A and B are shown apart, each in its own frame.
Chain A
Amino acid sequence: MGSQQLYALTTPLLTTASGAKMGKTASGAVWLNADLFSPYDYWQYWRNTEDADVSRFLKLFTVLPLDEVARLAALSGSEINEAKKVLATEATALLHGREAADEAAETARKTFEQGVAADTLPTVAISRIELDAGIGVLTAFVMAGLVPSTGEARRQIQGGGLRVNDNLVSDPRAVLREADLRDGAIKLSMGKKRHILLKPE
């Protein structure tokens, strides 16, 4: 056997449009195994994609034909949310199967209909300077008035009770930053019913 020619191909280091490293969310690592990160959380992760990333992520993380990607990417305004749902469902179907993906999409739709439309949620103002410096996730939940103390926030995280932008928080040391803003606010949730929007001013 002779020495055959060998090649190497590298992928771009993935960051989101706002410069954050992918998968490093306030909710901790985004695992691919369903027992560590549920299909519903996975669906939400993709649903929270920033507008500017939709086209790129559809190409990379779904197997949709490119003309379909182009059609979805051309949607603008509130319609871009439809493209994000397609991204979420297709990416989830690839990893967890079509049934789990449809189920996640349906759960998300129901949760939304149960009166948690983002613009009707109570808002708590935070300082822009503070957010720039990074706010610890435990402190953020205290600021939002969802828990009385950081100790309680920590206990809630252990019990899987806290979410940031609908993503489960698993790391009590997670830090909220500008990259976590969605439409100008960060959504904090305790359990299924209590939601607060943190808005920098």
Chain B
Amino acid sequence: MSDFKPKSDFLRVLNERGYIHQCSDFAGLDEKARKERITAYVGYDCTAPSLHIGNLISAMMLHWLQQTGHRPITLMGGGTTRVGDPSGKDETRKLLTVDQIEVNKNSIKGVFSRFLNYGASSNGAIMVDNAEWLTKLNYIDMLRDIGRHFSINRMLTMDSVKLRLEREQELSFIEFNYMILQSYDFVELSRMHDCCLQMGALINGVTLSMVLSSVAAWDRNNYMH
């Protein structure tokens, strides 16, 4: 990032203030953000009744995104939290009940209005919940449309998976699905809200390229023919 001099207000502010670690394509994103209003999202899981200080950075990035004229989406993981993120955990998370997740979600939501405006303006923030689309997925359709774009070989190289395997700790199939569902969110947001950017602390390099290629392939298969 050090050599890159962004021309868009959005990346310039983010860069100056120290929010950026890596980007899949600095030049491409910079050019797009300079030319048009973009839509970007951050996903938040609903495992606790409040966000914590580790979530502040991404909330601030959404804040600056909006301040520089673009549209933020806060994605509540009402659906993905039902599956559970395997990363950073030595063992399977205890599954939260749907009720608990709902309670957590409602308790988390309020804090975002401190950082973002959810008004009706052209770049007013949007809040969505991935339970909206994930709970409606049909298993066979999902395997056919999405599953075939995911390489098991590559998924096995991901840190969250690799560590469990190396330590011979149980990794259940439900957790293995987390990254697929998370990737599918991007597809859905791209279709529904013309969202082109995901921001966050932990977007594993392998996942990222996998997401991007599978999204592209998925879109081609479903919309281009």
Contacts and interface: CB of A to CB of B under 8 A. Distances in A.
Interface of A: 1-14, 22-23, 29-33, 36-37, 45, 56, 59-61, 63, 66, 94-97
Nearest to B212: A6
Given A6-B190, A95-B114, A11 B57 contact: yes
B16 A4 contact: no
B199 interface: yes
B119 interface: no
Nearest to B54: A23
Nearest to B14: A9
Interface residues of B, number: 56
B191 interface: yes
Interface of B: 14, 16-25, 28-29, 32, 40, 48-58, 60-61, 63, 107-108, 110-111, 114-115, 186, 190-191, 194, 196-203, 208, 211-212, 215-216, 219-220, 223-224
Contacts, number: 137
A32 B23 contact: no
Nearest to A3: B219
Contact of A33 (B24, B50, B191): B50
Given A9-B20, A60-B60, 7 more contacts: A4-B190, A7-B196, A9-B24, A9-B197, A30-B52, A33-B108, A95-B111
B21 A3 contact: no
Given A2-B223, A6-B186, A94 B115 contact: yes
B18 A3 contact: no
Contacts of A6: 24, 186, 190, 196-198, 211-212, 215-216
A62 to B, nearest CB: 9
B18 A59 contact: yes
Contacts of A96: 114
A63 B203 CA distance: 25
Contacts of A12: 18-21
Contacts of B211: 6, 8
Contact of A8 (B108, B191, B197, B223): B197
A63 B197 CA distance: 23
B49 A36 contact: yes
A170 B52 CA distance: 14
Contacts of B32: 5, 7
B33 to A, nearest CB: 9
B57 A23 contact: no
Given A5-B28, A9-B29, A94-B114, A22 B201 contact: no
Contacts of B21: 10-13
